[in-house]
Structure 1
């Protein structure tokens, strides 16, 4: 199995990562817009003296979504940096080449399927 990406494969993965980065950034911007509206509603609620516990749950859910999007953005940025260096597409555990099909579906993958499965099943 070839360990080096062809120039076409490299370009395809880079384009996919850049598109994913743009999608996540847009989702974060939308999330921030929603947070502003939630904050405004909370300020109005406090001014009215109302206590709506369900809004607290909404804020917590928004926070979790935001944290997830930030983590995803970090993974994409890391993958873009690794793509510029030799060794991209090699498993960080066993150093085997990660199949292009896997990279195409998840360009930020750090492990081959076998090592990822072991990693997820480890206590």
Structure 2
């Protein structure tokens, strides 16, 4: 595990938890918005929006929630903060900004160049 102070670990745990709750609320709001549309309006609504846009958004949010859950588990098991590609420390500031980051900035950059079609968050 990367060498973080107790204060940094507490901040990271808070950031993970807050981001998870924010995503959870976004998913609930998106689902509530879709459910609020009456059946007669649903076909008009769906015809006015690109196919699967709501599904894609929710899918990305749920995938990030899963990454956050894994990160919380790693944090509890003291295996948090190391890049999955090179094994180096990801960095406190990066993890604070993007708590579910699994790669250091250098490896994330390489990953995005190698797999540009995937819609994962940028640096």
> TM-score by structure 1 length?
0.80
2:58 alignment partner in structure 1: 66
**What stretches of structure 2 of length at least 5 have no aligned partner?**
116-123
| Separation of aligned partners in 1, 2:40 and 2:99 | 44
State how many pairs are aligned: 114
Query: What CA RMSD, in Å, does the superposition of the two structures yield over aligned residues?
Result: 2.2
Residue pairs, 1:21-100, within 5 angstroms:
21-38=20-37, 40=38, 43-44=39-40, 52=44, 55-58=46-49, 60-100=52-92
| Separation of aligned partners in 1, 2:2 and 2:36 | 49
Higher helix share: 1
Larger Rg: 1
Q: Secondary structure at the match of 1:26?
A: helix
Runs of 4 or more off by more than 2 Å in structure 1?
A: 43-46, 54-60
> TM-score by structure 2 length?
0.80
**What stretches of structure 1 of length at least 5 have no aligned partner?**
none
